[in-house]
């Protein structure tokens, strides 16, 4: 590895670890200190505006419905999520965010928005495009090499 590759490697490893750690700290220190990062990402997958089936959310998170059920049970107890069965087919379970869940979603969204604004602040349009292109290539590499699905 040459010097630039070492620097890039260190930056990427540090960024990845820092983002996870900062997300966790932001949750623990905020008004929603009873949420884990994993639970927050589950709320994100459910989304703000529509009811979704357990199967849809599990598929988006790349986990089983059984694993999601365990997470949803905890989020219901913490009053972030509501669950109901549809009358036409009692096997179908719909989930949606409560008012508290929507607040958590918005606060987490602000964290991500602030992170992105700080990343591109002061960059020219050409530099932004170069950054986007580089990250897209990296993302495609991971998906291709490690059989990750979008």
What is the reported pLDDT for 123? Answer: 97
Q: Tell whether the model's pLDDT for residue 11 goes beyond 70.
A: yes
Strand order in the sheet with 81-85: 52-53, 93-97, 81-85
What is the reported pLDDT for 149? Answer: 65
In our burial notation (b when 16+ CB lie closer than 10 A, e otherwise), range 67-86 reads: ebeebbeebeebebbeeeee
Q: Residues 36, 71: contact at Cβ < 8 Å? A: no
Instruction: Give per-residue pLDDT as tens, 56-76.
Output: 999 999 999 999 999 999 999
Query: pTM above the 0.85 mark?
Result: no
3-state secondary structure the chain: CCHHHHHHHHHHHHHHHHHHHHHHHHHHHCCCCCCCHHHHHHHHHHCCCCCEEHHHHHHHHCCCHHHHHHHHHHHHHCCCEEEEECCCCCCCEEEEECHHHHHHHHHHHHHHHHHHHHHHCCCCHHHHHHHHHHHHHHHHHHHHHCCCCC
Least confidently predicted of 19-28, 55-64, 110-119: 19-28
Q: So where are the chain's domains?
A: 3-145
Listed residue (67, 69, 61) closest to 45, CA to CA: 61
Listed residue (4, 99, 85, 86) closest to 48, CA to CA: 99
What is the reported pLDDT for 150? Answer: 57
Instruction: Give per-residue pLDDT as tens, 67-107.
Output: 999 999 999 999 999 999 988 888 889 999 999 999 999 98
Q: What is the pLDDT averaged over residues 28-45?
A: 89
Q: What is the pLDDT averaged over residues 33-60?
A: 95
Domain 3-145: top CATH class:
mainly alpha
């Amino acid at each position: 590895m040459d010097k630039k590759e070492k620097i890039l490697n260190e930056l990427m490893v540090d960024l990845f670890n820092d983002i996870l750690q900062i997300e966790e700290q932001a949750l623990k220190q905020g008004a929603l200190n009873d949420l884990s990062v994993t639970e927050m990402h589950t709320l994100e997958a459910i989304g703000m505006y529509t009811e979704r089936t357990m199967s849809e959310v599990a598929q988006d998170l790349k986990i089983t419905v059984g694993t999601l059920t365990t997470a949803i049970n905890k989020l219901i107890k913490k009053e972030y999520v509501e669950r109901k069965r549809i009358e036409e087919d009692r096997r179908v379970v719909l989930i949606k965010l409560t008012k508290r869940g929507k607040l958590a979603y918005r606060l987490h969204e602000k964290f991500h928005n602030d992170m992105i604004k700080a990343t591109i602040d002061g960059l020219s349009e050409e530099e932004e495009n170069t950054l986007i292109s580089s990250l897209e290539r990296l993302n495609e590499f991971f998906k291709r090499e490690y059989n990750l699905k979008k």
